[in-house]
Amino acid sequence: MRFVFVFALLFVGCLSSPEWWEDATFYQIYPRSFVDSDGDGVGDLKGISSKLEYLKEIGVTATWLSPIFKSPMADFGYDVSNFFEIDPIFGTMADFDELIEKSKEVGVKIILDFVPNHSSDECEYFEKSVESDPEYKDFYVWHPGKLIDGIRHPPSNWVSVFGGSTWTWNEKRQEYYLHQFLAKQPDFNFRNPKVRENFKAILKFWLDKGVYGFRIDAVPHIFEKLNEDGSWPDEPRNDWNNDPQSYDYLDHIYTKDQHETLDVMYEWRAFMDSYKNDNGGETRVILAEAYSPIEILDQYFSNSTHSGSQIPFNFGLMSLSGYSTAKDVENSVTYWMDVMWKKHKVANWVLGNHDNPRIYDRFGAHKIDVVNILLSSLPGTTVTYYGEELGMHNVKTECTEVSCDDRDGERTPMQWNDKLSGGFSTNPNPWLPLADDYKVNNVKNQRKTARSSFNIYKSLQKLKRTEAFKNFKDDSSWAYGALTEQIFHVKRSSSKDGYLILINMGDKIETYNFPENFFKPGIKDLEYHVVTERSSHYSGEKFQITNKLHLLPFEAVVMKWETPVV
Ligand SMILES: *[C@@H]1O[C@H](CO)[C@@H](O)[C@H](O)[C@H]1NC(C)=O
Ligand SMILES: CC(=O)N[C@H]1CO[C@H](CO)[C@@H](O)[C@@H]1O
Ligand SMILES: [Ca+2]
Ligand SMILES: [Ca+2]
């Protein structure tokens, strides 16, 4: 009996160690731009399959793929026309199955993008809804509009995210339909239980195929406020914007973060958890894209009785820039930690995606490693957009027949080597041009270069798997903060050893004397472990803690200590 009891205790002990997603490294792939396997100039699933070992090499736990579903590509796959099919441009279902198969062999989990807010107007559901097919009649949000002095007006003053009214008149059905994004992206009606069931069927379909979770697109936009009489309330004006076509013209109190959105989020989580219970295996995760205040993200995570998204993306660090000081970083980190860590012991750090300019462009070339090191040093989950491990930069793109999107600049092909089209494709004209520096700045070169962004990134992912980093559920195992206006530090430790990460955010040399109690008693020196390109130190070099510390402009270092045995 006692034996069993001890065993049970051990088991409970194991449960408190982090789950796979809690300190995972997620890597976002924009499939059009990763690898093109058949030379048509557009990236595809076979291409991704061929690079899973690469992801493993740099220490990625899971990769989330921007949409690969059947789509007319009015918004590059964020306009899905069939949620159960792969778009031929990316390959076939067999290619997808192969990708999953291979991902299991290699040990990199696959996460899919899930776009529940809307479909394409070319989706069969929408076509049937237009025809008032009884099954699909209320799948979308329809309204006949308001008659004022005999003239028909849209049901409300709402403006879409991409500009212009959210309401588009449909001749056939003789009603307006709602779209928070493009007119080609009609919003689903999530008040219809059939829609909710349909989405669970979609989740199940892909879970059955072997995906480990979903990144849910545009979460805050899922519900809009509906008056009891079936009308839609006008939103108030923002007095600082005078363009009625602009999204910022209105204060989005009725079209963002409505309470019902939480219900669906909790419903999806319950579904994922029950799926896990029925099918065994590891936790399936929900990554939620919500540009919302922390109080709302807190609720997307859970309320006191229900759980939601494990990883509501933390976009806080994205609002920093090249001018941000260590104090700014500290404030941004604390904004999250004060609420989300204190309440739930979770954290995630995002610094880029397909909707925002790259780190190079937001922070400056010299800050790529600084920012990547910061992202991976903090306790919790790291989220990296493809190519950021190389420090790829935005490209000024011209409108082409294929694409004319102001976000194209951060979606250019991955730079694998110095060959034709950077090894992305055998096609000399990929769907977007490569950055002009690809002959120098590519995976092949950076792999060989000691302090390259690639190798620094890789070292940090390795560190994330050490005991000192793995120990993060214990609050006393880490610390962070600004030591001076410009030096940001993170400390991570286990009982055996620990790491001190020091980052100079500024463009001047910084010096610092460690106060007496900064290290545990008995620690006398540290060893440089990772250093950035222009550092004057080398890995293996010792540092006496009583010495003055010097950091060059934008220098970041990781130093290691061994805890003395007492
Ligand atoms: C949590 O949210 C669910 C779903 O919205 C709701 O039914 C429940 O009452 C909430 N719990 C609390 C304590 O507010
Ligand atoms: C930030 C954002 O809007 N991200 C995605 C949200 O959904 C729209 C429409 O599906 C996409 O265009 C965006 O990329
Ligand atoms: Ca292709
Ligand atoms: Ca909606």
Atom of ligand 1 minimally distant from the CA of 303: 1
* Cβ–Cβ under 8 Å, residues 373 and 460: yes
Atom of ligand 1 minimally distant from the CA of 266: 4
For position 369, what pLDDT does the model report? 97
Structure tokens at 458: 């890789």
For position 16, what pLDDT does the model report? 60
**Which of 30, 78, 353 to probe ligand 2 with, by most ligand atoms within 8 A of CB?**
78
**Catalytic residue list:** 217, 289
Q: What is the C-alpha to C-alpha distance for residues 253 and 321, in angstroms, rounded to an integer?
A: 28
Task: Supply the residue whose CA is at minimum distance from atom 11 of ligand 1.
Answer: 305
For position 550, what pLDDT does the model report? 97
Distance 274 CA to ligand 2 centre (A): 29
Tell me the pLDDT tens digit for each residue of 15-44. 467 899 999 999 999 999 999 999 999 999
For position 370, what pLDDT does the model report? 96
**Which of 298, 305, 309 to probe ligand 1 with, by most ligand atoms within 8 A of CB?**
305
Distance 347 CA to ligand 1 centre (A): 23
**Which of 181, 215, 406 to probe ligand 2 with, by most ligand atoms within 8 A of CB?**
181
**Which of 306, 309, 343 to probe ligand 1 with, by most ligand atoms within 8 A of CB?**
306
Task: Supply the residue whose CA is at minimum distance from atom 13 of ligand 1.
Answer: 304
Distance 67 CA to ligand 3 centre (A): 15
Ligand nearest to the CA of 41: 3
What are the two backbone dihedrals, phi and then psi, of residue 203, each rounded to the nearest 5 degrees?
-60, -45
Distance 508 CA to ligand 1 centre (A): 51
Ligand nearest to the CA of 263: 1
Task: Supply the residue whose CA is at minimum distance from atom 7 of ligand 1.
Answer: 263
Ligand nearest to the CA of 50: 3
Q: Which domains does the chain have, with CATH numbers?
A: 21-116+193-223+258-463 (3.20.20.80), 475-562 (2.60.40.1180)
Does residue 86's CB lie within 6 angstroms of at least one atom of ligand 1? no
Q: What is the C-alpha to C-alpha distance for residues 338 and 24, in angstroms, rounded to an integer?
A: 21
Distance 290 CA to ligand 4 centre (A): 13
For position 11, what pLDDT does the model report? 43
Does residue 462's CB lie within 6 angstroms of at least one atom of ligand 1? no
Chain centre distance of CA 479: 24
Atom of ligand 2 minimally distant from the CA of 407: 14
Q: Which residues surround ligand 4, an ion (CB under 5 A)?
A: 117, 187, 221
According to DSSP, the residues that pair with 82 across neighbouring strands are 70
Does residue 305's CB lie within 6 angstroms of at least one atom of ligand 1? yes
Atom of ligand 1 minimally distant from the CA of 259: 5
Distance 260 CA to ligand 1 centre (A): 10
Does residue 266's CB lie within 6 angstroms of at least one atom of ligand 1? yes
Distance 485 CA to ligand 2 centre (A): 36
Atom of ligand 2 minimally distant from the CA of 354: 14
For position 87, what pLDDT does the model report? 98
Does residue 304's CB lie within 6 angstroms of at least one atom of ligand 1? yes
For position 406, what pLDDT does the model report? 83
Does residue 259's CB lie within 6 angstroms of at least one atom of ligand 1? no
For position 535, what pLDDT does the model report? 96
Task: Supply the residue whose CA is at minimum distance from atom 11 of ligand 2.
Answer: 78
For position 539, what pLDDT does the model report? 95
For position 399, what pLDDT does the model report? 83
Task: Supply the residue whose CA is at minimum distance from atom 4 of ligand 2.
Answer: 218
Residues with CB under 6 A from ligand 2: 75, 78, 115, 181, 217-218, 355
* Cβ–Cβ under 8 Å, residues 221 and 255: yes
Put the strands of the sheet holding 109-114 in their side by side order: 311-312, 285-288, 213-216, 109-114, 62-65, 25-29, 381-385, 348-350
Residues making up the chain, counted from first to last: 566
Which of 54, 102, 101 has the alpha carbon at shortest distance from 461?
A: 54
Ligand nearest to the CA of 115: 2
Tell me the pLDDT tens digit for each residue of 393-443. 999 988 877 778 889 999 999 999 999 999 999 999 999 999 999 999 999
Ligand nearest to the CA of 315: 2
DSSP element (H, E) containing 551: strand 549-551
DSSP 227-282: -TTS--PPPPBPTT---TTSGGGB--TTTSS-HHHHHHHHHHHHHHHHHHHHH-SS
Q: Is 7 exposed, middle or buried (0-12, 13-18, 19+ CB in 10 A)?
A: exposed
Distance 184 CA to ligand 3 centre (A): 25
Distance 455 CA to ligand 3 centre (A): 29
Pairing of strands 213-216, 285-288: parallel
Task: Supply the residue whose CA is at minimum distance from atom 8 of ligand 1.
Answer: 305
For position 365, what pLDDT does the model report? 94
Give the residue ranges of the chain where pLDDT is below 70: 1-16
For position 15, what pLDDT does the model report? 40
Tell me the pLDDT tens digit for each residue of 336-367. 999 999 999 999 999 999 999 999 999 999 99
Contacts (Cβ under 8 Å, ≥6 apart) of 267: 196, 200
DSSP state of 454: H
